[in-house]
Amino acid sequence: METRPLGTTGTDVTEVGLGTWEIGGEWGDVAETRAREAVRTALDAGITFLDTADVYGDGRSERLIREVLTERDEAPFIATKAGRRLDPHTAERYTEANLRGFVDDSRERLGVETLDLLQLHCPPTDAYYRPETFNALETLKQEDRIASYGVSVERVEEALKAIEYPGVETVQLIFNPFRQRPRETFFREAAARNVGVIVRVPLASGLLTGALSADTEFPENDHRNFNRDGAAFDVGETFAGVPYEDGLDAVEAIEPLVPAGQSMAQFTLRWILDHDAVSTVIPGSSTPEHIRDNVASADLPRLSAERHAAVREVYDETVREHVHHRW
């Protein structure tokens, strides 16, 4: 699998990484043995980028990553996040003291002296207009608690504001055939500033695998059940913000575009990677076969201009009205 530079971090990472929200929680019950095997499978497949957060399973995801790495010789690049433990979750609480506490907790759970990358975890929009928050991150970097810092955002406007701070080296955001707005302005600006772009929710919570249907049932503790209306957190994180039934219609329209021999998931990941501004894409899975199939997408040939245009047409006709103005 090829690698791409992750902004100015000085590290090249694999085009496909592993998102570990699923092995932490809020995707139904995932046994710890299965979660560890998912991380092992990713490393065996050559993945060098793992994305986690301190709130995934209340630290479980970070802890499980550490447990697997103690068995092995690999040293993948680990990106974690902080901020969502704040209660109330307000911009004013993104202080140096609070961030230092979160960072030290993650360092302990991951078993490292210095975090490779700390990302603010979808803070309120006002946080991006508080230079003192980014000054705090710079201080933590100078203290060698973190090697690099970035942001994980909900909205394109937040990403554009964040990269005005020169210390921000990466931006994580949602981008897939159902969420195409980042390509209009943000990708150009990120490339001009050499900012690394990490793409999350690439498969729209499973919709873009083609494996879901109107009859699919989700467990009570799966966000695809309890967050369809944004009751727990931003609805854009669930099915990329697309109403479930409309998403199924869009998938049906995209399916004929998938080349023979490829899965819908592989087609989607290849579509994302065809955008050169993307540094890495981080599908999450606890199924070894799915992880290996996701990795294989990086070795597929680029899609034709005709297929890209057809995906854009599906977006414009089926999805745009639900998401384009929101994120």
56 is catalytic: yes
Q: Measuring CA to CA, which residue among 84, 88, 122 is closest to residue 106?
A: 84
Domain map (residue ranges) of the chain: 3-323
Selected from 3.30.365.10, 3.40.470.10, 3.40.50.970, 3.20.20.100, the CATH number assigned to the domain covering 3-323 reads 3.20.20.100
The partner residues of 174 in beta bridges, in order of sequence, read: 200
Using CA atoms, how far apart are residues 198 and 281, in angstroms rounded to an integer?
Answer: 6
CB 140 within 8 A of CB 132: no
The partner residues of 117 in beta bridges, in order of sequence, read: 79
Structure tokens at 129: 């207009």
DSSP 243-302: -HHHHHHHHHHHGGGSPTT--HHHHHHHHHHTSTT--EE--B-S-HHHHHHHHHGGGSPP
The percent of residues in the chain predicted with pLDDT above 70, rounded, is 99
**How many helices and strands, by DSSP H and E, does the chain display?**
13, 10
Strands 196-200 and 168-174 turn out to be: parallel
Residue type present at position 172: Q
DSSP 95-144: -HHHHHHHHHHHHHHHT-SSBSEEEEES--GGGGG-HHHHHHHHHHHHTT
Q: Measuring CA to CA, which residue among 278, 271, 265 is closest to residue 305?
A: 271
- Local confidence band at 26 (pLDDT 50, 70, 90 cut-offs): low
Taking residues 195-200, what's their average pLDDT?
98
pLDDT digits (tens, 9 = 90+) for 32-87: 999 999 999 999 999 999 999 999 999 999 999 999 999 999 999 999 999 999 99
Taking residues 136-155, what's their average pLDDT?
98
What average pLDDT does the structure give for the chain?
96
Write down how long the chain is: 327
Taking residues 104-129, what's their average pLDDT?
98
Distances (CA, A) of 166 to 12, 135, 148, 259: 20, 11, 12, 41
The percent of residues in the chain predicted with pLDDT above 90, rounded, is 93
The partner residues of 82 in beta bridges, in order of sequence, read: 120
- Tell the residue number behind the tokens 């991006």, with chain if given: 128
pTM: 0.96
Taking residues 249-255, what's their average pLDDT?
97
pLDDT digits (tens, 9 = 90+) for 203-239: 999 999 999 999 999 998 989 989 988 988 989 899 9
Task: Tell me which of 56, 94, 149, 315 is the catalytic residue.
Answer: 56
- Local confidence band at 23 (pLDDT 50, 70, 90 cut-offs): confident
